[in-house]
Amino acid sequence: MTRSRLVLPVLALVALGVGFAAAVGAPREATQGEFARIMFVHVPSAWLAFLAFGVTLLGGVMWLIRKNMLWDRIAASSAEVGVFFTGLALITGMIWGYPVWGTFWDWGDARMMSTAVMFFVYTGYLALRRSVPDPETRARRSAVLGIIAFVQVPLVYFSVTIVRTLHQGLTFTGPDSSIDEGFVGPLLINLAAFTLVYVAFTTYRTRLLKIEDDLEAEEAIADLELAGLGITEPRLGGAAVDG
């Protein structure tokens, strides 16, 4: 790995360290105590999930317009990272919910339910990608599913304004936003740190996907040379598109 490629992960790690220090140094919340510090992981994770799925949508739309495989790889990488952040937001939310709300999971909470639904929608997106062996077909279908799946994002975001349930309203932009000034700085620092982590993960995953695609293409050429143009070797990589 060249030195320039190390810059991004090192920066992300340093930023995470600064974010951790800011979270520990933030004032103690009056009613929730130390549990409120989970917010410094939970809120940035949720925001980054939205951003990641937004990039997946953009990548899909750009692929449909430009037909450049780079956009498909960006969309796929971003979706994977988005699923990771959604999972992190769900788990941290549940860990926080037990001591504060008295339950890990509340069936009536619109934000929890819609976030879980979003998690499964994008898990389906990733499952679809694994099921289509042909790169172009995979890119096209994933692009369409990425557009359909994005419908979930505004539903999750506005779920707390449509239904008033256990989850608090919008943190900054809501009419009843009441976040203390002492929390804003650490929250924004952690948001920046998580954004760097997202960029690092997505960049590396995109590169990895390019390497995988190149390897697959090389293997396909080698198979053709071995067997001749009239024969194609059975592949383990997935089902063929037919019928």
Partner 1 sequence: MKRPGFWYQAREIARKDLIVEGRAGEALYITVPFGAVALMLIPLAVGTDKPLLATIGPGMYLAVSLLFGMLVAFRQTATDDASQRELLALLGTDPAAKFVGRAATSLLLMLVFSAVLVPVTILLYNPGRIEGWPWLILVIGLLASGLAMVGTLAGSVTAGLKTRSTLTPLLVAPLAMPMLLAAGQVLEALRDGSSILAWIVLLITTNLAMAAIGVATAEALEESSS
Site string for partner 1, 37-76 (x = CB under 8 A): ---------------------------x------------
* Shortest reach from residue 123's CB to partner 1, in Å: 8
- Which one of residues 43, 51, 145, 160 is an interface residue with partner 1 (CB under 8 A)? 145
Site string for partner 1, 180-219 (x = CB under 8 A): ----------------------------------------
Q: What is the per-residue DSSP string for 54-99?
A: HHHHHHHHHHHHH--HHHHHHHHHHHHHHHHHHHHHHHHHHHHHHH
Question: Quick check: 148 binds partner 1 (CB under 8 A)?
Answer: yes
39-66 helix and 181-227 helix, angle to the nearest 10 degrees: 40
Question: Quick check: 128 binds partner 1 (CB under 8 A)?
Answer: yes
Measure Cα distances from 216 to 67, 94, 209, 213 in Å: 19, 41, 10, 5
What is the rounded distance in angstroms from the CA atom of residue 155 to the CA atom of residue 148? 12
Residues in the interface with partner 1 (CB under 8 A) total: 35
Of 138, 124, 40, 37, nearest to 83 by C-alpha is: 124
Task: By CB under 8 A, name the binding residues for partner 1.
Answer: 64, 110, 113-114, 117-118, 120-121, 123-124, 127-128, 131-132, 136-137, 140-141, 143-145, 147-149, 151-152, 155, 162-163, 238-243
